[in-house]
A and B are shown apart, each in its own frame.
Chain A
Amino acid sequence: MSVMHFNGYLAAFRLNFKIELRSVWLQAVIVAIPLIIIPFMLPSYRDSLRAQGHLSANGSEQALPGFAILFAMFSLQLVLQLFFQEHEWHTWDRMRVSAVSLLDLVMAKLSVSFMVQVIQVALVMLIGTALYHYRPNGSVLALAAACLAISIVLTLFGLLLYIFSSSQNMAMSFNNILGMLLAGMGGALSPVSGFPNWAQKLAKGSPVYWAMDAVGKINFEHAGMADVWPDLRILLAFLLALALLATVLFKRGVQRKE
């Protein structure tokens, strides 16, 4: 792949943003559903957090970030759409013969997807904070950093799903199955500290674990940037690994869809 060119990237970004705007209603649903489910889960989350010694917990400390991340996974279908639709609409060839390079095009799509992820997570966290009295005792900046990091990782995960799947349906199914697996395994559905021993070890294979680990420190341990840095570093490693894989496999993945 070659260097990026800002104008091409910007034009592609604008076009993809316009296309994405069409799915605003779906994004709204993906923000609303977790906010609706959370109150059902609060009592049991509260009990389990209190049992683990967090006596001031009200349950939102697990529910809010957990569901924000789980539903960020579901919103990856928007990333998948952004790529697969170009094939469905036969516009992919047009993109490829345009003056925008493949790299700029992919980066534009990823940026729009990333933006959607960030808005998604931010809205769930902000509205949830207001509704369910989420009061972490650590740094808000560190919380934002953890959310941003997991959002980038998930976006790249979406790109890889696109590369490996031959159709949008296949990618969506993968996304739902793997999304639940990674989110559940990583402690988005219930705290990892309550997992059996072997599962606690396995959990570390999911990027979600490291985001939730950071969030746990921010919730109860007065953690700042420096304290969550080890978690962020591992998320960064996930990010680099996924980006490398995507770079190597992208062309072949696209050719299989033509």
Chain B
Amino acid sequence: MQPAKNDSGEYALSCRQVRKSYGSRQVLKGVDLQVRRGSILGLLGRNGAGKSTLISALTGLGEPDSGHITVEGHNPYRTPSRIFGRVIGLAPQDLGIYPHLSVRDNLRGMAGLQGLNTKQGGKRADELIELMGLASQSGTAAENLSGGQKRRLHTAMAMVHNPPVLFLDEPTVGADVEARARILDMVRAMSRQGTTIIYTTHYLKELEEMGANLAFLIDGRIKVQGSLQEVLHKYARASLRISFVGHAPSQIPGWRMADGFLEPDHPVSSPEQELARLLQEPVMKSARLASITIVQPDIESAYMTVMGASSSAPAGSRAWEDR
């Protein structure tokens, strides 16, 4: 199922200086991104950062105002659907299923559109139904599925044709623990076959589980990109987040307020000692604590570091630029 042609380079996808505005609002301000063939890329960013906009641009749904995009050697906007449609699979962020058709008919219908014949389509549909754990619902109209089951069907519909490049925009929203595990299993299975996967999520643990590479979309650009290990090594730190009832004490040396939380303004090696020191501060005597969170040096903390650096420090003042 791997592309026979256009695999001269090691990148399945690359884009350069991609810009896109909605009216006067510039959402993508020059995105540079390269995704290695066969890898999983976790695309991260706040709500409204432009992840879905970038995915639309990469899949041929929304032509950028400027910039270059190549997916398996194809320009999405110059390649006929009959060719480009088979190169990519997309599960958009908004659930897109035919409510009155059965689970099986949704998958078969999609398979037909992707150029599989009736026999291949039926076989692939059954395979995916099995993988998704929807065997007992295969004849059920999609509208009668639960939210998590719908999301699984929606995600599987992007995979019917085993595309070499797969875009999954928040595929696990609304999925329960088991459904999430199923979806991650499917993604891993596709990845093992050599599929390149671009994956957005707000559940960072998923990316850790899949060993994904990470790219952070911040302020319209990819600000940090690297393997999970690289990002953890560079940005994950232990920290503390403290909230208060009423006014937070101000001007504590070594601490700052960010998003309503008091945090150390420097890397912390032992959060416990740091906390003990903080409680000695005279201003803390009159403060009323609401919560204390110890942040472990994991992907969440790396995310917070990268995001925190982007929101509260002027560019270049801290070592968070990747290149």
A interface residue numbers (CB < 8 A to B): 2, 5, 7-8, 10-12, 14-15, 18-19, 22, 89-102
Give the segment of B36-44, B96-104, B225-233, B311-319 that binds chain A: B96-104
Bound complex: CA of A218 vs CA of B65, how far in Å?
58
Instruction: Say yes or no: B82 contacts A93, CB within 8 Å.
Output: no
- Count B-side interface residues using an 8 Å CB cutoff: 30
Contact among A91, A93, A97 for B97, CB-based, below 8 A: A91
Partner of A91, one of B85, B88, B96: B96
Across the interface, name the chain A residue whose C-beta is closest to B113.
Answer: A98
A interface, over-half SS? helix
Bound CA span A8–B60, Å: 18
In angstroms, Cα B88 to Cα A92, docked, is 16
Kindly list chain B residues whose C-beta atoms are within 8 Å of the C-beta of A93: 61, 90, 92, 94, 96
Complex CA gap A96/B81 in Å reads 8
Q: Which residue of A lies closest to B90 (CB)?
A: A97
A102 to chain B, nearest CB (A): 7
**Closest A residue to B88 using CB positions:** A97
B299 near A: Cβ within 8 Å? Answer: no
Is A100's CB under 8 angstroms from B90's CB?
Answer: no
Q: Say whether A8 contacts B82, CB under 8 Å.
A: yes
Please list 30 pairs of residues, one from A and one from B, whose beta carbons are closer than 8 Å in the complex, sorted by A's number.
Answer: A8-B81, A10-B112, A12-B112, A12-B113, A14-B109, A14-B112, A18-B101, A18-B105, A18-B109, A19-B100, A22-B100, A89-B96, A89-B98, A90-B94, A93-B96, A94-B92, A95-B113, A96-B60, A96-B81, A97-B61, A97-B85, A98-B85, A99-B81, A99-B83, A99-B115, A100-B81, A101-B80, A101-B81, A101-B82, A102-B81
Interface presence of B95 (CB below 8 A): yes
Q: Measured between C-beta atoms, what is the minimum distance from A75 to chain B in Å?
A: 19
| CB-defined contacts of B157 to chain A, threshold 8 Å | 94
B201 within 8 A of A: no
CA distance A18 to B97 in the complex (A): 14
Inter-chain CA distance A93–B93, complex, in Å, is 11
The 8 A CB mask of B247-289 against A (1 = contact, 0 = none) is: 0000000000000000000000000000000000000000000
Pair B110/A94 contact, Cβ less than 8 Å: yes
Q: Smallest distance from the beta carbon of A239 to chain B beta carbons, Å?
A: 26
Residues A98 and B114 in contact, CB atoms below 8 Å apart? yes
B54 to chain A, nearest CB (A): 15
Nearest chain B CB to A10's CB is how many angstroms away?
8
Q: Which residues of B contact A90 (CB under 8 A)?
A: 92, 94-96
A97 with B96: CB separation less than 8 A? no
Interface residues of chain B, those whose CB is within 8 Å of chain A, are 59-61, 80-86, 88, 90, 92, 94-101, 105, 109-110, 112-115, 157, 161
Q: In the assembly, what is the distance between CA of A10 and CA of B60, in Å?
A: 23
On whether the beta carbons of A11 and B113 are closer than 8 Å, the reply is yes
From B61, B97, B99, B105, give the contact of A96 (CB < 8 A). B61
A8 to B114, CA, bound (A): 8
Query: What CA separation (Å) do A89 and B141 show in the bound complex?
Result: 14
Q: In the complex, which residue of chain A has the Cβ closest to the Cβ of B60?
A: A97
A100's partner among B60, B85, B88, B96 (CB-CB below 8 A) is B85
Complexed CA–CA distance, A197 and B81 (Å)? 53
In the bound complex, residues from chain A placing their C-beta under 8 Å from that of B90 are 93-94, 97
> In the complex, are the beta carbons of A89 and B99 less than 8 A apart?
yes
Give complex CA distance A198, B6 in Å. 67
Contact B98 A19 (CB under 8 A): yes
Q: For residue A11, which residues in chain B have a CB less than 8 angstroms away from its CB? A: 109, 112-113, 115
* Complex Cα–Cα for A102 and B80 (A): 10
Q: How far is the CA of A19 from the CA of B60 in the complex (A)?
A: 26
Contacting A97 at CB < 8 Å: which of B59, B95, B98, B101? B59
Q: How far is the CA of A10 from the CA of B98 in the complex (A)?
A: 18
Which residues of chain B come closer than 8 Å to A19, judged between CB atoms?
98, 100-101
A179 to B202 Cα, complex, angstroms: 49
Least Cβ distance of A126 to chain B in Å? 29
Tell whether, in the assembled complex, residue A94 and residue B96 are in contact, meaning their CB atoms are under 8 Å apart: yes
Known: A18-B109, A97-B60. 14 other contacts (CB 8 A): A2-B80, A5-B82, A15-B109, A19-B100, A89-B97, A90-B95, A91-B98, A92-B96, A95-B113, A96-B81, A97-B61, A97-B85, A99-B115, A101-B80
In whole angstroms, what is the CA distance A97 to B57 when docked?
A: 11
CA distance A22 to B94 in the complex (A): 23
Query: Across the interface, which residues of A come within 8 angstroms of B113, CB to CB?
Result: 8, 11-12, 15, 95, 98-100
Contacts of B85 in A (CB 8 A): 97-100
- In the complex the two chains form, what is the Cα distance from A93 to B110 in whole Å? 12
A99/B114 contact (C-beta < 8 A), A19-B100, A89-B98 known? yes
Q: Given the known A-B contacts A89-B99, A94-B92, are A99 and B82 also in contact in the complex, defined by CB atoms under 8 Å?
A: yes
